[in-house]
């Protein structure tokens, strides 16, 4: 970082500034630094990866396709082989594969590993430094109770679901586009190979989950539309399912759940990760999608700095990610349109049609386009064709 005396006192200068040291911001910074460009990450918290506000379930394919250069043993706490999905009145779909389909990760360790890689690549990370305002290339910061001014040619906003950059530079997005996520880490007895997804009016607009870390520890959580007492809903869910557990800790945060944003680039800003609504609206998972998008954003920033190509390139190159995200949103919007009885009917119809065996063979947590069309090719599943067509045709 270079310092100079500007009209408002000492100004810091950085060629590229990434706001937010979450997975998306750190990965993007690492890749930009690898291209030889000066990049500074600003993070309001004093420790990367804290507080943890995530269930940490990541698809195995997503992780391996990303090629992050990390050893899974360093951050994976459990391997998941399948899912039990429970409808409001207990129609159960069970999908179980022979190999792990997903990993439960330690988000603190994962973020710390990405942090170390970003530093090793040459990125600078300013912890305890909060962006408080932004106008074009000027960033107004607060660090250790003092105000600072920073100038940057390019700003990557990876500042999470409440993104200050997005709220400042884009039209406001209402609360209806978020789900309130709430989670307990608990001690009890669990099938460590299976996650559970529960649908019902306690989790209106989303679902509740059980993600085991081991046979005795799990992350039990719930998401629901904003404006409802989420902890109360969690209690209703826990009572209804008669969980016999000891609560170890709790956390809560927003999950963006809407169609992906199309306008991601401002004059010199790019939105990335949760800030750009790059989360899967079906499950709220944003780690793999945000990391995918980070690669695309880093390439667009590097091309801008090397060849002066427009940052808008990012909006074109992100199209394949957005296509999958849009499909997740269509599925979510459809599920949200069903009342509890209709959800039961859908589960029963899908079960009778053999969806469990189909998903065991073709299911994909991140890319529904990989299996939705295949439903039409299986005569047994033709009963679900009208539902599948809804997602294919839009
Ligand atoms: C309850 C819950 C469960 C979830 N479970 C899963 C799951 O199982 N699998 C999955 O894939 N995803 C899950 N997610 C979503 C996942 O956590 C996010 O998609 C992911 O963390 C997004 O990464 P990011 O880097 O875009 O943003 P974040 O991880 O939110 O990082 C943003 C960073 O920016 C910093 N920041 C914000 N504002 C400022 C500012 N003004 N100045 C400086 N720094 C700032 C924040 O402190 C933070 O460190 C879950 C989310 C919730 C809430």
22 with 101, same domain: the answer is no
Which atom of ligand 1 sits closest to the CA of residue 129? 43
Q: What is the rounded average pLDDT of the residues 9-13?
A: 67
Pocket, ligand 1, Cβ cutoff 6 A: 19-25, 42-45, 53-58, 130-131, 158-160, 164, 181, 183, 221, 253, 255, 273-274, 279, 284-287, 290
Beta strand pairing call for 146-157 and 9-19 = parallel
285 with 136, same domain: the answer is yes
Q: What would the pLDDT profile of 87-146 be if each residue is shown by its tens digit?
A: 999 999 999 999 999 999 999 999 999 999 999 999 999 999 999 999 977 999 999 889
Structural domain of residue 315, as residue ranges? 2-52+108-174+258-328
Q: What would the pLDDT profile of 14-37 be if each residue is shown by its tens digit?
A: 899 999 999 999 999 999 999 999
Q: Over the chain, what is the mean pLDDT?
A: 91
182 with 311, same domain: the answer is no
Q: What percent of the chain has a predicted confidence (pLDDT) above 90?
A: 78
242 with 288, same domain: the answer is no
Residue that finishes a domain, picked among 297, 328, 359: 328
184 with 245, same domain: the answer is yes
Distance (angstroms) between ligand 1 centre and the Cα of 161 equals 7
Distance (angstroms) between ligand 1 centre and the Cα of 24 equals 9
97 with 168, same domain: the answer is no
207 with 281, same domain: the answer is no
114 with 34, same domain: the answer is yes
Reference 139, options 113, 159, 123; nearest CA is: 159
370 with 387, same domain: the answer is yes
Is position 347 within any domain?
A: yes
Distances in whole angstroms, Cα of residue 244 to Cα of each of 16, 53, 78, 186, 213? 50, 23, 21, 10, 16
Contact criterion met (CB below 8 Å) for 123 and 32: yes
- Give residue 2's pLDDT: 55
Is position 229 within any domain?
A: yes
196 with 250, same domain: the answer is yes
Q: How many domains does the chain have?
A: 3
200 with 297, same domain: the answer is no
């Amino acid at each position: 970082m270079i310092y100079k005396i500007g009209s408002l006192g000492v100004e810091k200068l950085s060629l590229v500034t990434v706001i937010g040291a979450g997975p998306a911001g750190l990965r993007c910074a690492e890749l930009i630094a690898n291209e030889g460009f000066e990049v500074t990450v600003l993070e309001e918290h004093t420790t990367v990866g804290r507080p943890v506000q995530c269930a940490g379930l990541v698809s195995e394919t997503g992780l391996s396709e990303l090629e992050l250069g990390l050893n899974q043993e360093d951050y994976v706490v459990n391997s998941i082989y399948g899912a039990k999905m429970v409808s409001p009145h207990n129609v159960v779909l069970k999908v179980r594969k022979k190999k792990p389909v997903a990993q439960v990760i330690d988000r603190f360790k994962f973020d710390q590993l990405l942090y170390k890689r970003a530093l090793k690549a040459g990125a600078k990370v300013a912890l305890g430094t909060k962006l408080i305002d932004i106008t074009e290339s000027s960033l107004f910061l607060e660090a250790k109770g003092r105000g600072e001014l920073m100038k940057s040619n390019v700003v990557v906003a990876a500042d999470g679901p409440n993104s200050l950059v997005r709220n400042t530079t884009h039209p406001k997005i209402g609360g209806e586009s978020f789900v309130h996520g709430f989670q307990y880490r608990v001690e009890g007895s669990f099938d460590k190979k299976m996650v559970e997804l529960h649908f019902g009016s306690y989790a209106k607009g989303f679902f509740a989950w059980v993600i085991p870390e081991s046979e005795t520890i799990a992350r039990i959580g719930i998401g629901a539309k904003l404006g409802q007492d989420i902890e109360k809903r969690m209690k209703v869910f826990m009572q209804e399912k008669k969980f016999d557990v000891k609560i170890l800790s709790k956390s809560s945060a927003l999950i963006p759940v809407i169609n992906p944003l199309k306008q991601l680039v401002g004059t010199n800003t790019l939105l990335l990760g949760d800030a750009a609504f790059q989360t899967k609206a079906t499950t709220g998972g944003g780690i793999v999608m945000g990391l995918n998008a980070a690669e695309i954003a880093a390439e667009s920033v590097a091309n801008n700095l090397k060849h002066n190509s427009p940052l808008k390139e990012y909006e074109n190159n992100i199209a394949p990610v957005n296509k999958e995200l849009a499909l997740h949103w269509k599925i979510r919007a459809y599920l949200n349109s069903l009342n509890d009885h209709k959800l039961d009917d859908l589960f029963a119809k899908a079960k009778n049609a053999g969806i469990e065996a189909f998903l065991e063979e073709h299911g994909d947590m991140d890319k529904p386009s990989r299996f939705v069309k295949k439903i039409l090719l299986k005569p047994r599943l033709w009963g679900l064709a009208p539902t599948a067509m809804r997602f294919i045709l839009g």
